[in-house]
Amino acid sequence: MSHEFPIRVYYEDTDLAGIVYYANYLKFIERARSEWVRSLGVDQLALKRDAGLVFAVRRVEADYLRPAHFDDELVVKTDLVSFGGARLVLEQGVWRAGERLFGATVTLVCLTEAGGPARLPAELRRRLVPTIQ
């Protein structure tokens, strides 16, 4: 089941041609990932404070399919594809009125605050199982 996060394109998101600047799609999907994690009941600040764990993007494979424009209403859809001991793979897409504009496969890793790999907490793994597509 996709997590959906609505976004409106503001003037600051666009370039001189009035289309969304390519790097801003990465910001859009980052916001959506944060909301997806929150929707799972995970408090990332508490996870860092209590367990010393953080998430980091390891890899992004992105496809820019069609431009979005100033004032467009978009939806970012996030789906969990797989997860392992220390990583998550997500499919994310940016949509406008049923048309896919942008797609990305994002690999996240769980790290200690010092930057070393860490296993996903058992409670998080339990929450992920029902969301896998």
User: Which residues have a catalytic role annotated?
Assistant: 15
- Rounded distance between C-alpha atoms, residue 53 and residue 92, angstroms: 23
Give the ranges where 9-109 is alpha helix by DSSP (H).
Answer: 22-39, 44-51
Residues 6+ apart with CB under 8 A from 116: none
Q: Give the residue from 53, 41, 51, 129 showing the smallest Cα distance to 86.
A: 53
8 A C-beta contact, residue 87 and residue 58: yes
